[in-house]
Structure 1
Amino acid sequence: MTSVGLAANEEGLIRLLAQIVLFDGFDPLDAVAPYEVLAAGGVVADGALEVELVSAEGPRQVPSGMNLLALEATARLEPQRADLVVVPGAAGSLDGGDDGVREDSAPGLLARTLDTPLPGLLKEALDRPGLTVATVCGGSMVLAMAGLITGRPATTHHLGLEGLTATGAVAIDARVVEDGDLVTASSVTSGLDLGLYLLERELGPRVAHAAERLFAHERRGVVWRDTGSAPAVSL
């Protein structure tokens, strides 16, 4: 559970702040699924968790990929203020194109974040003790391409696992992977599982269970951690 950057609400209770990052070309479900689960957890926990949509540039309307929709970032990503930072992946074409990666492809949109303030802010987030950085789908590739998770276990969409390995990260084919202050989730719908797991980590299993019942969604799979006995047989 996070231990720094906590604020007290009007009743004097400890409150956590989760910031969901939006960038041009983000995947809507990657952002909205954990946003709604975490927000529901905050309601269940009587205001113990606040959730906001942010961008690296500050308040603005942020277009998703594939012209699906736009969401309003209400604040700037602030690693010194947040306790949880969640980075979604991108929504784009799957075609690589004849001349390499297309700009409107998911990999192309993710690569464009490297030319924004986002990588620097994410480094600041990972460097801050007590803050948890989480990703959904291709969000881990933003960290990986910026050289921020070299040598660390992480997951992403199954189509991107080889790319994750190529960046120097340790690709794990699991629904959710935890490596201390880094929690990554695989495919688009895994944002639900990520949100519930973060609720359990930060606010406890009873709050997470209440949110699970509200959304009628049971978390899938084992959360992978680099602990315990290694399998003797590869399956």
Structure 2
Amino acid sequence: MADAVVARHRVAVLALDGAYPFELGIPARLLGAAQDRYEVQLCSVDGGPVRTNAGFTVTPDHGPDLLETADTVIVAPVEPTHLTRELPEPVAAALARIRPDARVASICTGGFTLAAAGLLDGRPATTHWECAPLFRSWYPHIQVDDGVLFVDDGDLLTSAGAAAGVDLCLHLIRSDHGAEIANRAARRCVVPPFREGGQAQYIDRPLSDDPASSTAATRQWALEHLAENFTLPQLAEHAHMSLRTFARRFQAETGLPPRRWLTKQRLDRARHLLESTDLTVEQIAVEVGFATATSLRQHLNAELGISPLGYRRTFQSEHTSPAAR
């Protein structure tokens, strides 16, 4: 008997005037890398061309009728100068055509469009950190978190600025089809499968110009000594700071608490060794500073939903020549 044909998940990307071309292409690029699981199509509110903010026009293949059949609708962002508190009638009419059971998502300022349509009322959401104050003032009834890369509230998802759309799309793949397929899609697009720290690490904060007040040198030292069992107080001592000052400045500079940052660096090193060497899981755990192989397994599974051996099978098998390793 022939294998059953699995229908692809239909995704409609809604493009509005003033769109950012980069974000406009993220869904097709990322979801399209998920082993033919998705059919991604672009539409506009009237089926006509859409002016981007980059000096050229794109012409979608579809009009708003596409929204009636899509399983997921992704609203692409527009330049902030194009934002309006109330939706233009054609945009409101197009959004009204979305199926009641469809999943709806936005990238960056696309969350403003969902908010103006009333779709985010009483719901948690995020947007680009620079636009968050305006978002809060226009829509005070929406719970805005500007420190994360995306918010998943079930049938409604919103993401932060620009490349956070990549994180959102990988999250959709991971939720729909599991970590292995999401990791493969990330590898094909040469992006990290999962980013730690949220957009808090990218917010423009005034920091001292004095190198002595930075944790950069200590972070570099830690990377060079990952196999060692050092403590947080030892890191603070290395930076010549009190523990409290060190932790505060560390998070301001990296967007992560020191221990979480350190775990991420150890996992990144472990993943590299799994991909590029034949060391055992036990040897890799020692090499990167985890106390035991069990600890490495637990941390890798928590981050990527996959075991070390599963990760090695996924990524080593893709390399066809030593030069690719």
Partner SS for 2:87: helix
Identify if the C-alpha distance between structure 1 residues 34 and 221 changes in structure 2 by more than 3 Å, giving closer, same or farther: farther
Q: Alpha carbon RMSD of aligned pairs, Å? A: 2.3
> d(CA) in 2 for partners of 1:205 and 1:216?
16
How many Å apart are 1:113 and its aligned residue? Answer: 8.0
CA contact (8 A) 1:38 1:196 kept: yes
Alignment correspondent of 1:7:
none
Give the partner amino acid of 1:73: P
Alignment correspondent of 1:231:
none
Alignment correspondent of 1:128:
100
> d(CA) in 2 for partners of 1:70 and 1:11?
40
1:193 to 142, 145, 167: 167
How many Å apart are 1:112 and its aligned residue? Answer: 8.5
> d(CA) in 2 for partners of 1:222 and 1:39?
26
How many Å apart are 1:185 and its aligned residue? Answer: 0.6
- Pairing of 1:64-213 with structure 2 (within 5 A): 64-67=52-55, 69-77=56-64, 78-91=66-79, 106=80, 108-111=81-84, 114-125=87-98, 128-129=100-101, 131-166=102-137, 167=139, 168-173=141-146, 174-213=148-187
Pick the structure with more strand per residue: 1
Pick the structure with more helix per residue: 2
Identify if the C-alpha distance between structure 1 residues 116 and 39 changes in structure 2 by more than 3 Å, giving closer, same or farther: farther
Larger Rg: 2
CA contact (8 A) 1:23 1:113 kept: no
Task: Confirm whether residue 61 of structure 1 aligns to residue 49 of structure 2.
Answer: yes
Give the partner amino acid of 1:188: A
Partner SS for 1:73: coil
Identify if the C-alpha distance between structure 1 residues 22 and 222 changes in structure 2 by more than 3 Å, giving closer, same or farther: same
Partner SS for 2:42: strand
1:50 to 22, 27, 39: 39
Partner SS for 1:40: coil
Partner SS for 1:164: helix
Give the partner amino acid of 2:71: D
**Same amino acid, percent of matched pairs:** 29
Aligned length: 192
> d(CA) in 2 for partners of 1:163 and 1:180?
25
Alignment correspondent of 1:39:
32
Give the partner amino acid of 1:128: P
Gaps of 5+ in 2: 199-256, 258-325
CA contact (8 A) 2:14 2:43 kept: yes
> d(CA) in 2 for partners of 1:159 and 1:176?
15
Identify if the C-alpha distance between structure 1 residues 159 and 180 changes in structure 2 by more than 3 Å, giving closer, same or farther: same
Give the partner amino acid of 2:196: G
CA contact (8 A) 1:151 1:169 kept: yes
How many Å apart are 1:211 and its aligned residue? Answer: 0.5
Q: Deviations over 1:156-201 (max 9, x none)?
A: 0101112222212110121010111111110111111111111112
Partner SS for 1:120: helix
How many Å apart are 1:148 and its aligned residue? Answer: 2.4
Partner SS for 1:128: coil
> d(CA) in 2 for partners of 1:112 and 1:171?
16
Moved over 3 A (4+): none
> d(CA) in 1 for partners of 2:15 and 2:85?
13
> d(CA) in 2 for partners of 1:169 and 1:123?
20
> d(CA) in 2 for partners of 1:200 and 1:72?
30
Q: Deviations over 1:3-50 (max 9, x none)?
A: xxxxxxx96212111111111111111211222101122xx1xx3310
TM-score (norm 1): 0.74
> d(CA) in 2 for partners of 1:222 and 1:18?
28
